[in-house]
Chains A and B, each alone.
Chain A
Protein backbone atom coordinates (compact mmCIF):
# COMPACT_ATOMS: atom_id res chain seq x y z
CA UNK A 1 0.00 0.00 0.00
CA UNK A 2 1.22 3.52 -0.80
CA UNK A 3 1.92 5.72 2.23
CA UNK A 4 -1.12 7.81 3.07
CA UNK A 5 -0.82 11.58 2.58
CA UNK A 6 1.19 13.07 5.51
CA UNK A 7 0.91 9.89 7.61
CA UNK A 8 4.43 10.27 8.99
CA UNK A 9 3.49 13.75 10.30
CA UNK A 10 0.28 12.50 11.92
CA UNK A 11 1.35 12.90 15.61
CA UNK A 12 2.75 16.39 15.02
CA UNK A 13 -0.32 17.50 13.06
CA UNK A 14 -2.67 16.05 15.68
CA UNK A 15 -0.88 17.98 18.43
CA UNK A 16 -0.96 21.15 16.31
CA UNK A 17 -4.69 20.58 15.73
CA UNK A 18 -5.19 20.37 19.50
CA UNK A 19 -3.00 23.39 20.21
CA UNK A 20 -4.80 25.64 17.74
CA UNK A 21 -8.11 24.39 19.11
CA UNK A 22 -7.14 25.69 22.59
CA UNK A 23 -6.57 29.10 21.00
CA UNK A 24 -9.91 28.87 19.17
CA UNK A 25 -11.80 28.02 22.36
CA UNK A 26 -10.10 30.91 24.16
CA UNK A 27 -11.07 33.44 21.50
CA UNK A 28 -14.58 32.01 21.22
CA UNK A 29 -15.31 32.08 24.95
CA UNK A 30 -13.98 35.65 25.31
CA UNK A 31 -16.14 36.67 22.35
CA UNK A 32 -19.15 34.89 23.86
CA UNK A 33 -18.96 36.84 27.13
CA UNK A 34 -18.77 40.13 25.23
CA UNK A 35 -21.83 39.14 23.15
CA UNK A 36 -23.71 38.28 26.35
CA UNK A 37 -23.13 41.90 27.39
CA UNK A 38 -24.86 43.03 24.18
CA UNK A 39 -27.90 40.96 25.19
CA UNK A 40 -27.91 42.86 28.50
CA UNK A 41 -27.71 46.20 26.65
CA UNK A 42 -24.05 46.86 27.52
CA UNK A 43 -21.83 47.90 24.62
CA UNK A 44 -18.65 48.83 26.45
CA UNK A 45 -16.47 46.08 24.98
CA UNK A 46 -17.24 46.34 21.26
CA UNK A 47 -13.63 46.74 20.21
CA UNK A 48 -12.48 43.71 22.19
CA UNK A 49 -15.42 41.68 20.93
CA UNK A 50 -14.59 42.54 17.31
CA UNK A 51 -10.98 41.55 17.90
CA UNK A 52 -12.02 38.21 19.44
CA UNK A 53 -14.31 37.54 16.47
CA UNK A 54 -11.34 38.02 14.15
CA UNK A 55 -9.12 35.66 16.17
CA UNK A 56 -11.95 33.17 16.44
CA UNK A 57 -12.23 33.07 12.65
CA UNK A 58 -8.47 32.81 12.06
CA UNK A 59 -8.09 30.09 14.71
CA UNK A 60 -11.05 28.20 13.25
CA UNK A 61 -9.47 28.33 9.79
CA UNK A 62 -6.16 27.03 11.16
CA UNK A 63 -7.73 24.24 13.25
CA UNK A 64 -9.94 23.23 10.32
CA UNK A 65 -7.05 23.24 7.85
CA UNK A 66 -4.82 21.12 10.08
CA UNK A 67 -7.74 18.77 10.77
CA UNK A 68 -8.24 18.32 7.03
CA UNK A 69 -4.54 17.40 6.66
CA UNK A 70 -4.84 14.81 9.46
CA UNK A 71 -8.04 13.31 8.08
CA UNK A 72 -6.72 10.97 5.30
CA UNK A 73 -4.37 9.05 7.63
CA UNK A 74 -7.00 9.07 10.38
CA UNK A 75 -9.58 7.60 8.01
CA UNK A 76 -7.33 4.79 6.80
CA UNK A 77 -5.78 3.72 10.11
CA UNK A 78 -8.36 4.60 12.76
CA UNK A 79 -11.80 5.63 11.51
CA UNK A 80 -12.39 3.04 8.82
CA UNK A 81 -11.01 -0.21 10.28
CA UNK A 82 -11.65 0.48 13.95
CA UNK A 83 -14.60 2.72 14.71
CA UNK A 84 -16.75 1.58 11.82
CA UNK A 85 -16.87 -2.06 12.94
CA UNK A 86 -15.81 -2.22 16.60
CA UNK A 87 -17.47 0.93 18.00
CA UNK A 88 -20.08 2.24 15.56
CA UNK A 89 -21.29 4.84 18.09
CA UNK A 90 -17.79 6.40 17.90
CA UNK A 91 -18.10 6.48 14.12
CA UNK A 92 -21.40 8.30 14.58
CA UNK A 93 -19.75 10.87 16.89
CA UNK A 94 -16.97 11.37 14.35
CA UNK A 95 -19.28 11.78 11.35
CA UNK A 96 -21.31 14.43 13.15
CA UNK A 97 -18.05 16.15 14.16
CA UNK A 98 -16.96 16.38 10.53
CA UNK A 99 -20.35 17.59 9.28
CA UNK A 100 -20.71 20.17 12.04
CA UNK A 101 -17.16 21.37 11.42
CA UNK A 102 -18.17 22.31 7.86
CA UNK A 103 -21.28 24.17 9.02
CA UNK A 104 -19.07 25.74 11.71
CA UNK A 105 -16.66 26.95 9.03
CA UNK A 106 -19.53 28.66 7.22
CA UNK A 107 -20.72 30.20 10.49
CA UNK A 108 -17.24 31.36 11.57
CA UNK A 109 -16.68 33.05 8.20
CA UNK A 110 -20.15 34.60 8.13
CA UNK A 111 -19.86 35.69 11.76
CA UNK A 112 -16.59 37.53 11.23
CA UNK A 113 -17.69 39.14 7.98
CA UNK A 114 -20.98 40.25 9.54
CA UNK A 115 -19.15 41.72 12.54
CA UNK A 116 -16.79 43.66 10.27
CA UNK A 117 -19.78 45.32 8.64
CA UNK A 118 -21.98 46.40 11.54
CA UNK A 119 -21.84 48.33 14.78
CA UNK A 120 -23.76 46.48 17.52
CA UNK A 121 -24.73 49.60 19.47
CA UNK A 122 -26.02 51.52 16.45
CA UNK A 123 -27.63 48.64 14.54
CA UNK A 124 -29.26 46.60 17.29
CA UNK A 125 -31.74 44.88 14.98
CA UNK A 126 -28.84 42.95 13.43
CA UNK A 127 -28.13 41.37 16.82
CA UNK A 128 -31.14 39.16 15.97
CA UNK A 129 -28.75 37.27 13.68
CA UNK A 130 -25.44 37.96 15.38
CA UNK A 131 -26.35 36.72 18.87
CA UNK A 132 -28.01 33.40 17.85
CA UNK A 133 -25.14 32.83 15.41
CA UNK A 134 -22.72 33.25 18.31
CA UNK A 135 -24.67 30.68 20.37
CA UNK A 136 -24.87 28.19 17.47
CA UNK A 137 -21.17 28.61 16.75
CA UNK A 138 -20.33 27.99 20.42
CA UNK A 139 -22.52 24.88 20.55
CA UNK A 140 -20.96 23.58 17.33
CA UNK A 141 -17.36 24.18 18.37
CA UNK A 142 -17.91 22.72 21.85
CA UNK A 143 -19.41 19.56 20.32
CA UNK A 144 -16.50 19.27 17.85
CA UNK A 145 -13.92 19.77 20.63
CA UNK A 146 -15.52 17.36 23.13
CA UNK A 147 -16.19 14.67 20.50
CA UNK A 148 -12.64 15.06 19.19
CA UNK A 149 -11.13 14.63 22.67
CA UNK A 150 -13.37 11.63 23.42
CA UNK A 151 -12.43 9.92 20.14
CA UNK A 152 -8.73 10.58 20.63
CA UNK A 153 -8.96 9.09 24.13
CA UNK A 154 -10.65 6.03 22.60
CA UNK A 155 -8.03 5.63 19.88
CA UNK A 156 -5.62 8.42 19.03
CA UNK A 157 -2.98 6.57 17.01
CA UNK A 158 -2.38 3.23 15.33
CA UNK A 159 1.22 2.48 16.34
Chain B
Protein backbone atom coordinates (compact mmCIF):
# COMPACT_ATOMS: atom_id res chain seq x y z
CA UNK B 1 0.00 0.00 0.00
CA UNK B 2 1.36 3.47 -0.80
CA UNK B 3 2.53 5.85 1.90
CA UNK B 4 -0.47 8.22 1.62
CA UNK B 5 -2.96 5.38 2.11
CA UNK B 6 -1.06 4.06 5.11
CA UNK B 7 -1.03 7.56 6.59
CA UNK B 8 -4.78 7.84 5.97
CA UNK B 9 -5.51 4.57 7.79
CA UNK B 10 -3.09 5.48 10.56
CA UNK B 11 -4.74 8.87 11.11
CA UNK B 12 -8.20 7.27 11.18
CA UNK B 13 -7.04 4.73 13.79
CA UNK B 14 -5.26 7.43 15.81
CA UNK B 15 -8.38 9.60 15.94
CA UNK B 16 -10.86 6.84 16.76
CA UNK B 17 -8.66 5.05 19.31
CA UNK B 18 -7.55 8.29 20.99
CA UNK B 19 -11.11 9.60 21.37
CA UNK B 20 -12.40 6.24 22.64
CA UNK B 21 -9.48 5.94 25.08
CA UNK B 22 -10.24 9.39 26.49
CA UNK B 23 -13.92 8.53 26.98
CA UNK B 24 -13.07 5.11 28.37
CA UNK B 25 -11.41 6.78 31.38
CA UNK B 26 -14.98 7.85 32.32
CA UNK B 27 -16.81 4.80 31.04
CA UNK B 28 -14.68 2.25 32.88
CA UNK B 29 -13.44 4.42 35.75
CA UNK B 30 -9.81 3.84 34.74
CA UNK B 31 -7.58 5.10 37.54
CA UNK B 32 -5.15 7.75 36.27
CA UNK B 33 -2.65 9.75 38.34
CA UNK B 34 -4.15 12.99 39.62
CA UNK B 35 -2.28 16.26 40.11
CA UNK B 36 -3.01 18.11 43.36
CA UNK B 37 -2.15 21.72 42.46
CA UNK B 38 -2.49 23.14 45.98
CA UNK B 39 0.04 20.57 47.28
CA UNK B 40 2.13 20.37 44.09
CA UNK B 41 2.06 16.57 44.09
CA UNK B 42 0.68 13.57 42.17
CA UNK B 43 -1.41 10.74 43.65
CA UNK B 44 -3.30 7.77 42.25
CA UNK B 45 -6.23 8.36 44.61
CA UNK B 46 -8.89 11.07 44.59
CA UNK B 47 -9.17 12.90 47.90
CA UNK B 48 -12.68 14.30 48.39
CA UNK B 49 -12.87 18.03 49.12
CA UNK B 50 -9.44 18.80 47.64
CA UNK B 51 -9.02 20.19 44.10
CA UNK B 52 -7.25 17.66 41.89
CA UNK B 53 -6.77 17.17 38.17
CA UNK B 54 -6.97 13.85 36.35
CA UNK B 55 -7.13 15.69 33.02
CA UNK B 56 -3.37 15.73 32.43
CA UNK B 57 -2.99 11.97 32.76
CA UNK B 58 -6.23 11.24 30.88
CA UNK B 59 -5.02 13.21 27.85
CA UNK B 60 -1.61 11.50 27.98
CA UNK B 61 -3.40 8.14 28.05
CA UNK B 62 -5.57 9.11 25.06
CA UNK B 63 -2.58 10.36 23.05
CA UNK B 64 -0.54 7.25 23.87
CA UNK B 65 -3.35 4.84 22.93
CA UNK B 66 -4.10 6.83 19.75
CA UNK B 67 -0.44 6.95 18.72
CA UNK B 68 -0.02 3.24 19.37
CA UNK B 69 -3.14 2.31 17.40
CA UNK B 70 -2.25 4.66 14.53
CA UNK B 71 1.30 3.38 14.39
CA UNK B 72 0.27 -0.28 14.42
CA UNK B 73 -2.38 0.22 11.71
CA UNK B 74 0.00 2.23 9.48
CA UNK B 75 2.72 -0.40 9.94
CA UNK B 76 0.39 -3.37 9.38
CA UNK B 77 -1.17 -1.84 6.27
CA UNK B 78 2.31 -1.52 4.75
CA UNK B 79 2.85 -5.26 4.91
CA UNK B 80 0.26 -6.15 2.25
CA UNK B 81 0.55 -6.59 -1.50
CA UNK B 82 1.17 -2.92 -2.23
CA UNK B 83 -2.23 -2.26 -3.84
CA UNK B 84 -4.05 1.06 -3.55
CA UNK B 85 -6.79 1.65 -1.01
CA UNK B 86 -10.12 1.61 -2.86
CA UNK B 87 -12.54 4.55 -2.76
CA UNK B 88 -15.22 2.42 -1.09
CA UNK B 89 -12.93 1.46 1.78
CA UNK B 90 -11.75 5.05 2.14
CA UNK B 91 -15.36 6.22 2.49
CA UNK B 92 -16.26 3.43 4.95
CA UNK B 93 -13.24 4.22 7.15
CA UNK B 94 -14.04 7.96 6.93
CA UNK B 95 -17.66 7.52 7.99
CA UNK B 96 -16.72 5.22 10.88
CA UNK B 97 -14.03 7.64 12.12
CA UNK B 98 -16.28 10.69 11.93
CA UNK B 99 -19.09 8.82 13.73
CA UNK B 100 -16.73 7.81 16.55
CA UNK B 101 -15.44 11.37 16.94
CA UNK B 102 -18.90 12.93 16.84
CA UNK B 103 -20.21 10.29 19.25
CA UNK B 104 -17.39 10.95 21.73
CA UNK B 105 -17.85 14.72 21.55
CA UNK B 106 -21.61 14.31 22.02
CA UNK B 107 -21.17 11.91 24.92
CA UNK B 108 -18.71 14.22 26.73
CA UNK B 109 -21.07 17.17 26.37
CA UNK B 110 -24.11 15.19 27.46
CA UNK B 111 -22.26 13.68 30.45
CA UNK B 112 -21.03 17.02 31.84
CA UNK B 113 -24.11 19.09 31.03
CA UNK B 114 -26.39 16.59 32.78
CA UNK B 115 -23.97 16.29 35.73
CA UNK B 116 -23.74 20.06 36.28
CA UNK B 117 -27.33 20.94 35.51
CA UNK B 118 -26.84 22.78 32.22
CA UNK B 119 -29.58 20.68 30.60
- Contact surface of A with B, Cβ cutoff 8 Å: 1-2, 4-5, 68, 71-73, 75-76, 79-80, 88-89, 91-93, 95-96, 98-100, 102-103, 105-107, 109-110, 113-114, 116-118, 123, 125-126, 128-129, 132-133, 136, 140
B117 interfacial by beta-carbon distance below 8 Å: yes
Question: Contacts A118-B7, A140-B105 given: A88-B12 contact, CB under 8 Å?
Answer: no
| Residues in chain B near residue A105, CB distance under 8 A | 59, 63
Specify which chain B residues have a CB less than 8 angstroms from the CB of A106 in the assembled complex. Answer: 14-15, 18-19, 22, 62-63, 66
Tally of chain B residues near chain A (CB < 8 A): 45
Contact string against A for B residues 1-20, beta-carbon threshold 8 Å, 1 for contact and 0 otherwise? 00110011001101100110
Please name 14 pairs of A and B residues whose Cβ atoms are closer than 8 Å in the assembled complex, sorted by A: A72-B53, A79-B51, A99-B22, A103-B101, A105-B59, A106-B14, A110-B15, A114-B8, A125-B87, A128-B90, A128-B91, A128-B95, A129-B11, A129-B98
**Residue A2 contacts which of B40, B55, B109 (CB distance < 8 angstroms)?**
B40
Q: In the complex, what residues of B have CB within 8 A of residue A129's CB?
A: 8, 11-12, 90, 93-94, 97-98
